[in-house]
C-alpha cells in the first residue's frame, strides 16, 4: 500500500479485515481496501501529523492529530465534526464497544 508522503503513525483495521485506516506524519489519513491495496479515501483536516486513528462500528472514522484536534468523518469529504479540546498532540483514540462514546489521550 503506497500513498502516504511520510511515515505511518497509526493504523486500525475493521473487524472483518476488509478495510484499514492509516494516519501519517504527512498530515493525512487514508482509508484502504486491504484486499487490493487501493486508497478509498484520503482525509485531510489536521495541521500536523495524524497520530491516532479509530473506526466506529457504524462506519465512521476518527483521526487525532498533532494539532490537538479529533476529527469525526462520515461520508462527506470534510469532517462532520472537529473536537478541539486538547492543548497538546493527540496520542491515542478509543471507541466504546457500542460506538456511542469515544476517548482521546494527549500529551497535555
Q: In the chain, pLDDT over 70 holds for what percent of residues?
A: 99
Q: Indicate left, alpha or beta for 9 from its phi (over 0: left) and psi (-120 to 50: alpha).
A: alpha
pTM of the model: 0.93
| Three-point CA angle 33, 97, 26, nearest 5° | 40
35-50 pLDDT, tens digit each: 999 999 999 999 999 9
Q: Which pLDDT score is estimated for 63?
A: 98
Question: Between the CA atoms of 24, 82, 102 and 16, what dihedral angle is there, to the nearest 10 degrees?
Answer: -50
Inform me whether the pLDDT recorded for 9 exceeds 90: yes
Amino acid at each position: 500500500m503506497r500513498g502516504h508522503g511520510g511515515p505511518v503513525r497509526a493504523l486500525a483495521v475493521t473487524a472483518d479485515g476488509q478495510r484499514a485506516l492509516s494516519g501519517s506524519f504527512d498530515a493525512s489519513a487514508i482509508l484502504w481496501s486491504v484486499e487490493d491495496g487501493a486508497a478509498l479515501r484520503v482525509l485531510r483536516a489536521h495541521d500536523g501529523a495524524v497520530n491516532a486513528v479509530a473506526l466506529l462500528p457504524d462506519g465512521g472514522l476518527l483521526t487525532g492529530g498533532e494539532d490537538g484536534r479529533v476529527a469525526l468523518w462520515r461520508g462527506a469529504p470534510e469532517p462532520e465534526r472537529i473536537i478541539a479540546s486538547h492543548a497538546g498532540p493527540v496520542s491515542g483514540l478509543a471507541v466504546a464497544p457500542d460506538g456511542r462514546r469515544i476517548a482521546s489521550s494527549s500529551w497535555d
